[in-house]
């Protein structure tokens, strides 16, 4: 209903109001993966920082969460495939023009490293040789995973932006910041939940910095893209993104003000994790909504063409519309009787 | 990867690494002679064994297919329009009645054809267009496919290998024309192959072969482009000033389409994007932004752990 009322407001033509670009067929698995992938990255960074600065609680929580989030990611990604049993076809090629191919390799490398790091946490329970050999391997894996984490957290932004989905594509400059910030905040959330207050200091600062990045990026995406910001403000995507913002703010406030209370810290952590989840779903669904309404394809492209035509020495038809000169359509021309009669 | 591999004019087969590739083949769909018979839709289904796409009555004029999809690789669009304001010099009813122009597309009469020679005509026109995959020079679908299922053929066309595709779905939002689609019960992505099996044997693709008015013309792309230019000129001479080409220009946002069109109205009226650009054009800039965000992220972690008190 809402769409119907919106159509006449923006002046554009279409084929029976049908979409032009095709909305993604991805299910909510992919939105969920945006969250779990970011969480894995954020946790890996938390683990590395915690280990490097002698905070075992952060290391332990970071390593195990990274593995858990990774397993969930793998499930979501494979489950969303039209042919899940062919998931390994992703590994046939390494293709720089495909962010999904690049991401597959990032995720695989990250997975191996983070997996070793998490398994090494169990070393004390293991016998003899394994007990001694695992920890150094785990440390190497932990730093390897941390080195890959920024790539893991941001490639998904490129993945969404490298589509014809209007509101994703338009958001390409800021989307990586939204996702990086969201990943940091969720990693910080894990630290706040798992670590005692005296070890959680870095997690608090991570929460503040991550939230700042995320809020800056999301603000730009939600307000700076003209008509293409609209899908992020309306309906369910709008509600999700607003909820994400509120929860982020609450989480940061709790992390900073509640630094003496384990309970408040943990609640703040939970709030940050939920915020990250809501933001990812909001961004995902906003893009889908922008693909479903032809307005978001036609109007910006028309504006682009109009700017081109108005620009200096740019002949009409420079962008594939030869014959437009002097005639903008049937009503703009004279001397012709019917559609095809001469 | 050449200089224009992501954007700009390019010979796609050569860029894909073919040596001595045959000439690039394409479709020129001249909508001004389309009669909406849908022979192309049927021929395509027959030849390619494309499954049924359901029995829908859409209420969109004579179009009950709706659009291109995994199970419709040709789609005939029907647009009903009030014809343009009639200039006084020519009376459209008279013209239709007297010149016996076979091209005039009025509303069908209730009577048998020819029984009432001066059957009333309405001030109305139909636009019909057989849409198809554009086999873009810079194909968004092909760029993003992570499995290599989509590939560039020696004829410069874009084809999915059904034994490789794992249904990741990435190609679907990456197409600026909304062409390629996932087949629901099968999970894989499907679209027009420009009858790769036929053209390899020197045959004409099924749709072009079946088209009774040569609205769909198949041939060497360079030759088709020349032919199309002449056709537009001729139509302009005849007063059809709204005729324009779409997708013919190698300098456009996708480097020119392998399947291009002559249209009689704005592209969006036919469900085509007015100014499509391959998403990958921005890919280097996207990675740059992602790199920046990644660095900011790493810096934030360093600051978090090294700055401040516990
Ligand atoms: S029209 Fe779409 S599906 Fe066809 S080649 Fe171009 S990007 Fe691929
Ligand atoms: S759905 Fe198939 S053809 Fe499309 S991008 Fe994925 S693997 Fe390639």
Q: What is the pLDDT of residues A25-34, one digit of tens each?
A: 999 999 999 9
Lowest mean pLDDT among A160-164, A185-189, A329-333: A329-333
Calpha distance A297→A309 (Å, rounded): 19
Decide if pLDDT at A9 tops 80: no
Residue pointed to by tokens 């903008």 = A328
The residue whose CA has the least distance to atom 5 of ligand 1 is B135
Q: Which of residues 35-94 of B touch A (CB under 8 A)?
A: 58, 60, 66-67, 77, 79, 81, 83-87, 89-90, 92
What residue in B sits closest to A327 (Cα-Cα)?
B242
What does the angle CA B117 – CA B120 – CA B126 come to, to the nearest 5 degrees?
105
- Helices A56-80 & A99-120, crossing angle to 10 degrees? 140
Q: Which of residues 51-80 of A touch B (CB under 8 A)?
A: 52-53, 80
Residues in chain B closer than 8 A to A39 (CB atoms): none
A60-107 per-position pLDDT tens digit: 999 999 999 999 999 999 999 999 999 999 999 999 999 999 999 999
Spell A95-114 as b/e; 16+ CB within 10 A means b: bebbbbbbbbbbbebbbebb
Residue pointed to by tokens 């960074």 = A45
Q: Phi/psi class of residue A149: alpha, beta or left (left: φ > 0; alpha: ψ in -120 to 50)?
A: alpha
For the CA of B182, the closest atom of ligand 2 is 1
The residue whose CA has the least distance to atom 6 of ligand 2 is B168
A236-246 per-position pLDDT tens digit: 999 999 999 99
For the CA of B141, the closest atom of ligand 2 is 5
- Ligand 1 centre from A156 Cα, in Å? 23
Residues constituting chain A = 342
When pLDDT is averaged across residues B48-58 and rounded to a whole number, the result is 90
- pTM of the entire predicted model: 0.88
When pLDDT is averaged across residues B281-289 and rounded to a whole number, the result is 96
Q: Note the pLDDT of residue A267.
A: 97
Lowest mean pLDDT among A81-85, A318-322, B179-183, B259-263: A318-322
> Taking the CB of residue A317, how many other CB atoms lie within 10 A of it?
17
Residue A170 tokens read as 């338009």
Decide if pLDDT at B241 tops 70: yes
> Taking the CB of residue A139, how many other CB atoms lie within 10 A of it?
17
What residue in A sits closest to B144 (Cα-Cα)?
A98
Whole-number average pLDDT of chain A: 89
A197 touches chain B (CB under 8 A): no
Q: Which of residues 171-210 of B touch A (CB under 8 A)?
A: 172-183, 186-189
Q: Note the pLDDT of residue A10.
A: 60
Decide if pLDDT at A280 tops 50: yes
B178-191 per-position pLDDT tens digit: 999 999 999 999 99
B69-126 per-position pLDDT tens digit: 999 999 999 999 887 644 444 555 565 555 444 455 555 556 666 566 665 566 788 9
B79 touches ligand 1 (CB under 6 Å):
no
Residue B5: pLDDT band by 50, 70, 90 thresholds? confident
Inter-chain CB proximity A15 and B165 less than 8 Å: no
When pLDDT is averaged across residues A120-146 and rounded to a whole number, the result is 90
Return the half-sphere exposure (C-beta side, CA atoms, 13 A cut-off) of residue B278: 33
Best CA proximity match to A270, nearest among A255, A289, A291, A292 = A255
Inter-chain CB proximity A15 and B270 less than 8 Å: yes
Q: Are A24 and A163 in contact (CB under 8 A)?
A: yes
Percentage of chain A surpassing pLDDT 90?
Answer: 82
Q: Note the pLDDT of residue B252.
A: 94
Strand partners, B160: B150
For the CA of B145, the closest atom of ligand 2 is 5
B26 touches chain A (CB under 8 A): no
B40 touches ligand 1 (CB under 6 Å):
no
Q: Note the pLDDT of residue A329.
A: 36
- Ligand 1 centre from B18 Cα, in Å? 20
Ligand nearest to the CA of B176: 1
Decide if pLDDT at B64 tops 90: yes
A284-313 per-position pLDDT tens digit: 999 999 999 999 999 999 999 999 888 755
Q: Note the pLDDT of residue A257.
A: 94
A43 touches chain B (CB under 8 A): no
B160-172 per-position pLDDT tens digit: 999 999 999 999 9
A218-233 per-position pLDDT tens digit: 999 999 999 999 999 9
Nearest CA-CA distance, residue A55 and chain B, Å: 10
- Ligand 2 centre from B171 Cα, in Å? 6
Q: Note the pLDDT of residue B141.
A: 97
Strand partners, B151: B159
B180 touches ligand 1 (CB under 6 Å):
yes
B187-221 per-position pLDDT tens digit: 999 999 999 999 999 999 999 999 999 999 999 99
Best CA proximity match to A281, nearest among A293, A289, A269, A291 = A289
Q: Note the pLDDT of residue A131.
A: 86
ipTM: 0.87
The residue whose CA has the least distance to atom 2 of ligand 1 is B175
Q: Which of residues 127-166 of A touch B (CB under 8 A)?
A: 146, 149-151, 153-155, 157-159, 161-165
Q: Note the pLDDT of residue B3.
A: 72
Residue A138 tokens read as 């785990």
Q: Are A14 and B62 in contact (CB under 8 A)?
A: no
When pLDDT is averaged across residues B227-242 and rounded to a whole number, the result is 96
Q: Which residues approach ligand 2 with their CB closer than 6 A?
A: B 145, 147, 149-150, 160, 165-171, 188-189
* φ, ψ of residue A270 in degrees (nearest 5): -60, -40
- Ligand 1 centre from B171 Cα, in Å? 9
Query: In this structure, are strands B25-30 and B259-263 parallel, antiparallel, or unpaired?
Result: parallel
Percentage of chain B surpassing pLDDT 90?
Answer: 77
Three-state DSSP string of chain B: CCCCCCCCCCCHHHHCCCCCCCCCEEEEEEHHHCCCCCHHHHHHHHHHCCCCCCCCCCCECCECCCCCECCECEEEEEEEEECCCCCCCCCHHHHHHHCCCCCCCCCCCCCCCCCCCCCCCCCEEEEEEEEECCCECCCHHHHHCCCCCEEECCCCCEEECCCCCCCCCCHHHHCCCCCCEECCCCCCEECCCCCHHHHCCCCCCHHHHHCCCCCEEEEEHHHHHHHHHHHHHHHHHCCCCCCEEECCCCCCCCCCECEEEEECCCHHHHCCCCCCCCHHHHHHHHHHHHHHHHHHHHHHHHHHHHCCCC
Calpha distance B111→B130 (Å, rounded): 29
Inter-chain CB proximity B304 and A202 less than 8 Å: yes
Best CA proximity match to B290, nearest among A274, A228, A156, A33 = A156
Return the half-sphere exposure (C-beta side, CA atoms, 13 A cut-off) of residue A17: 11
First-to-last C-alpha distance (Å) of chain A: 43
Q: Are A157 and B293 in contact (CB under 8 A)?
A: yes
Calpha distance A243→B104 (Å, rounded): 58
Inter-chain CB proximity A321 and B267 less than 8 Å: yes
B303 touches chain A (CB under 8 A): yes
Considering only CB atoms, A97 lies closest to which of B143, B298, B306, namely B143
What residue in A sits closest to B122 (Cα-Cα)?
A338
B160 touches ligand 1 (CB under 6 Å):
no
Decide if pLDDT at A2 tops 50: no
């Amino acid at each position: 209903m809402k769409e119907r009322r919106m159509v006449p407001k923006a002046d554009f033509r279409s084929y029976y109001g049908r979409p032009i670009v095709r909305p993604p067929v991805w299910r909510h698995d992919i939105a969920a993966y945006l969250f779990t992938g970011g969480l894995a990255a954020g946790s890996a960074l938390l683990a590395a920082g915690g280990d490097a600065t002698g905070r075992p609680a952060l290391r332990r929580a970071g390593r195990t969460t990274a593995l858990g989030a990774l397993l969930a990611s793998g499930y979501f990604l494979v489950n969303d495939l039209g042919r899940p049993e062919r998931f390994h076809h992703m590994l046939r090629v390494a293709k720089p023009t495909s962010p999904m191919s690049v991401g597959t390799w990032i995720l695989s490398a990250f997975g191996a490293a983070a997996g070793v790091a998490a398994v090494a946490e169990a070393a004390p329970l293991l016998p003899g040789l394994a007990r001694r050999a695992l920890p150094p391997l785990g440390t190497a894996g932990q730093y390897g995973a941390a080195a890959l984490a920024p790539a893991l957290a941001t490639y998904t932004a490129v993945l969404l932006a490298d589509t014809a989905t209007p509101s994703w594509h338009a958001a390409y400059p800021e989307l990586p910041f939204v996702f990086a910030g969201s990943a940091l905040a969720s990693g910080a959330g894990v630290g706040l939940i798992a670590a005692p207050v005296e070890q959680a200091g870095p997690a608090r600062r991570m929460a503040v910095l991550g939230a700042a990045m995320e809020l800056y990026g999301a603000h730009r995406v939600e307000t700076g893209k003209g008509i293409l910001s609209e899908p992020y403000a309306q309906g369910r995507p709008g509600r999700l993104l607003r909820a994400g913002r509120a929860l982020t703010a609450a989480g940061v406030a709790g992390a900073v003000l509640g630094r003496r209370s384990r309970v408040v810290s943990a609640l703040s952590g939970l709030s940050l994790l939920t915020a990250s989840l809501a933001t990812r779903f909001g961004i995902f669904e906003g893009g889908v909504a922008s693909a479903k309404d032809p307005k978001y394809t036609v109007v910006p492209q028309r504006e682009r063409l109009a700017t081109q035509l108005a620009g200096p020495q740019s002949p009409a038809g420079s962008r594939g519309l030869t014959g437009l000169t002097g005639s903008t359509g049937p009503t703009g021309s004279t001397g012709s009787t019917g559609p095809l009669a001469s | 990867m050449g200089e224009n591999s992501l954007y700009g004019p390019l010979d796609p087969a050569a860029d894909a690494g073919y040596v001595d590739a045959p000439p690039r083949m394409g479709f020129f769909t001249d909508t001004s002679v389309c009669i909406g018979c849908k022979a192309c839709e049927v021929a395509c289904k027959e030849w390619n064994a494309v499954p049924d796409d359901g029995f829908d009555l859409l209420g969109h004029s004579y179009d009950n297919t709706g659009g291109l999809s995994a199970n419709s690789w040709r789609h005939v669009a029907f647009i009903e329009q009030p014809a343009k304001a009639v200039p006084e010099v020519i009376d459209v009813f008279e013209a239709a009645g007297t010149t016996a122009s076979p091209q005039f597309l009025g509303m069908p009469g209730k009577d048998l054809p020819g029984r009432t020679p001066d059957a009333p005509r309405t001030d109305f026109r139909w636009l019909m267009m057989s849409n198809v995959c554009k086999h873009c020079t810079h194909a968004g679908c092909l760029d993003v496919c992570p499995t290599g299922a989509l590939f560039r053929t020696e004829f410069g066309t874009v084809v999915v290998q059904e034994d490789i595709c794992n249904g990741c779905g990435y190609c679907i939002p990456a197409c600026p024309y909304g062409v390629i689609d996932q087949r629901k019960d099968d999970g894989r992505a499907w679209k027009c192959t420009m009858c790769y099996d036929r053209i390899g044997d020197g045959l004409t693709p099924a749709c072009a072969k079946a088209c009774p008015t040569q609205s769909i013309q198949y041939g060497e792309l360079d030759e088709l482009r020349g032919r199309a230019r002449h056709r537009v000129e001729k139509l302009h001479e005849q007063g059809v000033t709204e005729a324009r080409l779409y997708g013919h220009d190698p300098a456009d946002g996708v480097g020119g389409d392998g399947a291009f069109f002559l249209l009689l109205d704005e592209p969006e009226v036919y469900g085509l994007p007015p100014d499509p650009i391959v998403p990958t054009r921005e890919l280097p800039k996207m990675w740059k932004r992602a790199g920046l965000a990644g660095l900011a992220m790493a810096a934030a972690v360093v600051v978090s752990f090294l700055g401040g008190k516990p």
